[in-house]
Structure 1
Amino acid sequence: MAAVLDAAIAFFRKAEFTIEAEHPGDVVQRERLLDRAMGPARKRKSSEAIRRGRLPAQGLALVARDRDGHVIGTVRLWHVDAGVGPHGAAVPALLLGPLAVDADHEGKGIGAALMRAAVTEAAARGHGAILLVGDPEYYERFGFFAEKAAHLVMPGPFERRRFLGLELKTGWLDGAAGLLVPTGTRLSQPRIARVA
């Protein structure tokens, strides 16, 4: 694990929660948390269409845990092509989401801690930009602005003012235009043996 994430983990161990890499055993808790926080409509969102059937970017699936080890927050980032650049080449980026915190733990800075850890880790891993769909009133404090995604579109309905971008490398999204396309590793499907 990167040194930056290790430092964040050490800091948050003193608090009521810790931030760490998601483990395979967190799936059930994470999905229940997302269902509670976002409701049944979450799977119909445009950003979900990009994530469906894909694995999150390496090292960029994070959870917040309470002192008993329960998942109380989650954030994941996903590989996408953010349209094409001025020279016609695809522009690799990350799509952040969903970010969710258990309602019983809201107001403790967990969402902000997850965001800072995710952005810091993405930058440390050399990524150029992060995109998301969310309330600008919340995400602008982390450096996300609609102007950075002004010429990009989601596959399906989305609110233009809520489609935001953050450049981790200056100028990464300059001239990028077009449709976001998922590029991350596909989930492998288990083989089902046929009985003759």
Structure 2
Amino acid sequence: MAALSLVLTPQTVDDLAAIERLDEHAFGPGRFARSAYRLREGVEPDYSLSFVARVGTLLVGANRITAIRCGEAPALLLGPLTVDPAFRSGGIGEALVQKSLDAARAAGHALVLLVGDLPYYEKMGFRRVPPGKITFIGPVDPERLLYCELVEGALDSAGAKVRRVRAR
């Protein structure tokens, strides 16, 4: 039997139902109450920066990048990052994040935020946001609020209040 290889491709609208099932399985219905979800609510992901992972025809992972603002500065919100439990610990999540960061950098973006675990994301260039630097629209554990500068000094120019970007 031939080994199936991992393929990363940009998300499309056609992937959304499969991604929703994956997110439901991984995070359950409580995910909608989280502050990061509230920032994404009603805003389409940036499909050129959001990717899916497939093994054969099976969608096994996905991440989403959404435009946000930190004060007046544009930024990106990474998440959710979801990998099917049967495929975890295989580097799929890291590959998805790196693909998005590379695409965002190439597109001229400067700053990416996420809410997650520093030990996992630190190896991809994320650091903890300094206390009081950024305020979300709802409660967020400050230990889990992370950033990655795609352009050096981008966090310095970011304002404190994070808000969603309205759809055009």
Instruction: Please confirm whether the aligned pair reaches a TM-score higher than 0.5, indicating the same fold.
Output: yes
| 1:80 matched residue in structure 2 | 68
Structure 1: gaps spanning 5 or more residues: 1-13, 84-89, 187-196
- Secondary structure at the counterpart of residue 97 of structure 1: strand
* Alpha carbons of structure 1 residues 58 and 74: separation in structure 2 relative to 1, 3 Å: closer
Partner of 1:32: 21
Structure 2: distance between partners of 1:55 and 1:149: 29
Q: In 2, Cα distance between the equivalents of 1:81 and 1:43?
A: 20
In structure 2, do the counterparts of structure 1 residues 135 and 23 end up closer, same or farther at CA, with 3 Å as the change threshold?
A: same
Query: Does residue 70 of the first structure (1) align with residue 58 of the second (2)?
Result: yes
Q: Unmatched 5+ residue regions in structure 2?
A: none
Deviation string 1:134-189 (CA, Å, 9 cap, x unpaired) is 00010111111113675001111110010011110111111533211111525xxx
> Is the counterpart of residue 146 in structure 1 residue 134 in structure 2?
no
Residue matched to 1:106: 88
Q: Percent identity?
A: 36
Offset, 1:131: 0.3
State the shift of 1:104 in Å. 0.9
Change (3 A) 1:82 1:149: farther
TM-score, with length taken from structure 2: 0.93
**Cα distance change on mapping 1:133 and 1:185 into 2, 3 Å:** same
Q: Distance in 2 between matches of 1:138 and 1:171?
A: 23
Correspondence for 1:7 = none
- 2:95 & 2:164 partners in 1: Cα distance? 26
Q: Which moved more, 1:150-159 or 1:124-133?
A: 150-159
| Pair 147,123 (structure 1): closer, same or farther in 2 beyond 3 Å | same
CA-based RMSD: 1.7
Residue 87 (structure 1) aligns with? none
- TM-score (normalised: structure 1): 0.80
Is this contact kept in 2: 1:20–1:64, CA < 8 A? yes
1:32-55 CA distances to partner (integer Å, 9 max, x unpaired)? 000011111111100000101011
After the TM superposition, list the runs of 4 or more consecutive aligned residues in structure 1 that deviate by more than 2 angstroms: 147-150
Match of 1:132 in 2: 114
Q: 3-state SS of the aligned residue for 2:43?
A: coil
Q: Which amino acid aligns with 2:22?
A: L
Cross-structure match for 2:48? 59
- Counterpart CA distance in 2 for 1:44 and 1:76 is 17
Change (3 A) 1:41 1:161: same
Answer with 1 or 2: which has the greater Rg.
1
